[in-house]
Chain A
Amino acid sequence: MNRTNRMGLAAAAALVALHVGAPLASAQETLKQRGLEVFGYWCAPCHGAGPGNPGTVALSVRYQGVKPAALEERTDLAPEVTKVFVRSGISIMAPFRKTEITDADLEALAAYLAPDE
């Protein structure tokens, strides 16, 4: 299941929980929701799934099927890994400044791409 669908299910689950009087979505879910938005704005134009995304093409060549090329399909991205790539860049990807992706947004992005605990 891709991560976007996972987030959709999480949101649906939160709504169901609301109706049965459970607590609102956890802080972690809120963080991941923000991470999804950050990914959509800053990362998806290059790393989105499907054709025409040069970051995804580059990773498919790099990993040769050993790992998924689309970042949202990865299950091995520890938060620190995401942070290093965003702030250091790699290959033709230049780093992102804090006026682009703030530290708070980077935390959210890293949480969104991290494997579920």
Chain B
Amino acid sequence: MPLPPGVSRRDFEAALREFEQVVGEDWVFSSAEDVALYRDAYSPFWDEDEERLASAAVAPDGVEQVQAVVNIAGRYRIPLYAISTGRNLAYGGAAPALSGSVVLDLKRMNRVLEVSEKNAYALVEPGVSYFDLYRYIQDRGLKVWIDVPLPGWGSLIGNALDHGAGVTPMRDHFSAQCGMEVVLANGDVLRTGMGALPGAATWQQFKYGIGPLIDGLFSQSNFGIVTKMGIWLLPEPEVVRSLRVIAPRHDDVIAMLEILSNLFYSGVIDSHVQLTSPVLNGARDAERAALLARTATAEDWDGAAERRNVPFWNLRLTFYGARKIVDARWEYARERYAAIRGVRYEDGPTYGFPMSADERSRVAEKNIVGIPSLSNFAGRTPANPEVADGHMDFSVIVPMDGRAVLEALKTLGHAFAEAGAGNLGTIQSFHTRALLLINSFPTMRGDRDANRRVRAAYERAVKVAAEHGWGQYRVHAGFMDLALATYSFNDNALTRFHHALKDGLDPNGILSPGRYGIWPKHLRELKGSSA
């Protein structure tokens, strides 16, 4: 196991003993066997020199313990890498951004501190998973929903801080956060928004407080350790109803997304939308690769759809709320899409609430109705009997515009086909004004050559995307420097700003060095970078 950079074995051991005095011997992990549990099981660097490995882990059980651990780490200059539930698989898992960091494992801080049914919010600690908060709400029969990402074992706080998302009107999880408690590198504790007002009556209801809105500084960063967060919930709707819009031709996406953007911007749609192309998505095949490799015309592509006997596009909208309003919005959206020649629709699924436990157990897509699950965490299946050991995601933001979506799908589809690695994803709307294309790359624990090919393909894809103006919304911990390097306007002014903040807030560089490309001064100098 690596030691923290620049820290002697003696100081490291002394710090571990001091951590034990704070959290108890059982909650400091330093044996090889225990520390191995913090490896990224999906690492594309598995068993190679570049794999990021922890030196130890420490698991506090309260904000005072977090403060004490931070103060000890500060004295010994030991980097701490904070994780919530450590299940950010595909983006780096529980492994640190810098080898030798001590993982600050917040999983034991798993208290649901408050749920307000009346004002639809929760206040939670970082170790609270979607499963935990869902059970808390169900046990009490509260008429509020959480919004869940696909695997339900993640942390509400960790997911929001990494800009994760789900499907309901509360799907943009960082946007749904309201009020944080944060431990800073000097051991101080601050509360954001109205939480700065002692005895605040609206900490979870009014984000702005007074002065600069600083909550964003603690997302995708390393400026503090978030120990509490308010999350807005959704009042249980009367009904959830989906509409599928199926359009036959390649160029139909232009009208489809023009209508979609208008529906979003007018507030007719406020939830997740998924756009799939049965022609562009799916298992790799020679015809698609050949079409992607040349400048195929719309007619060429339409020919491919006809030969496959599939429509070109499938757009799914979902509506939440009172039945009368949902039905009106559903009808209105359908009317708007009637402008596309040859369009077809599918109605549903539709779910009414409240639901019995038996009805909930029978819902196929549980995340649509706010139920956390692992049902989409698909491994080996009858259709896919040979699977990779893991994957990493490559997720880029693209404009809500049909021509741009076509360009993104074709450009990245071609890049993946050329590289022989990368699975082209579908278009999602986790946000109201832009779309997201989530692609994935398989990783293998037993095949370094395959991982090297995947890394090369991934790095190439990052560059190709950036050349087209498409940036990532969230990044695997092994590639954060690469991603931030693409956000380089004006000689990396953004990264220089991050580093000025880092040097002021964490001069010893003990909080999660390297997370989202933010490095403390002494490590920047080691890396030979002035930014």
Contact = CB atoms under 8 A, between A and B. Distances in A.
Interface of A: 41, 45-46, 52-55, 57-58, 61-62, 87, 89, 91-100
B389 A100 contact: no
B41 A58 contact: no
Q: Determine which residue in B41, B57, B381 has the highest number of CB atoms from chain A within 10 A of its CB, and name it.
A: B41
Given A61-B382, A92-B389, A97-B107, A54 B374 contact: yes
Nearest to B363: A52
A91 B374 contact: no
Contacts of B390: 92, 94
Given A92-B390, A99-B108, A58 B37 contact: no
A94 B41 contact: yes
B377 A97 contact: no
B381 A61 contact: yes
Given A54-B375, A57-B381, A99 B107 contact: yes
B373 A45 contact: yes
B470 interface: no
A57 B152 contact: no
Contacts, number: 83
Contact of A98 (B37, B376, B379): B37
Nearest to B388: A92
Interface in B377-392: 377-382, 385, 387-390
Contacts of A52: 364, 366, 373, 375
10 contacts: A41-B131, A57-B381, A58-B381, A61-B380, A61-B385, A89-B41, A91-B380, A92-B390, A94-B87, A94-B93
A45 B153 contact: yes
Nearest to A96: B37
Contacts of A99: 27, 59, 86, 105, 107-108, 127
B29 interface: yes
A92 B387 contact: yes
A94 B89 contact: yes
B232 interface: no
B16 to A, nearest CB: 16
B29 A92 contact: no
Contact of A57 (B34, B127, B372, B380): B380
Contacts of A92: 42, 377, 379, 387-390
Contacts of A55: 374, 379
Contact of B34 (A58, A91, A98, A100): A98
Contacts of B37: 87, 95-98
A91 B389 contact: yes
Contacts of B36: 95
Contacts of B108: 99
A58 B382 CA distance: 8
Interface in B32-47: 33-34, 36-38, 41-42
B379 A54 contact: yes
B94 interface: yes
B389 A97 contact: no
Contacts of A61: 380-382, 385
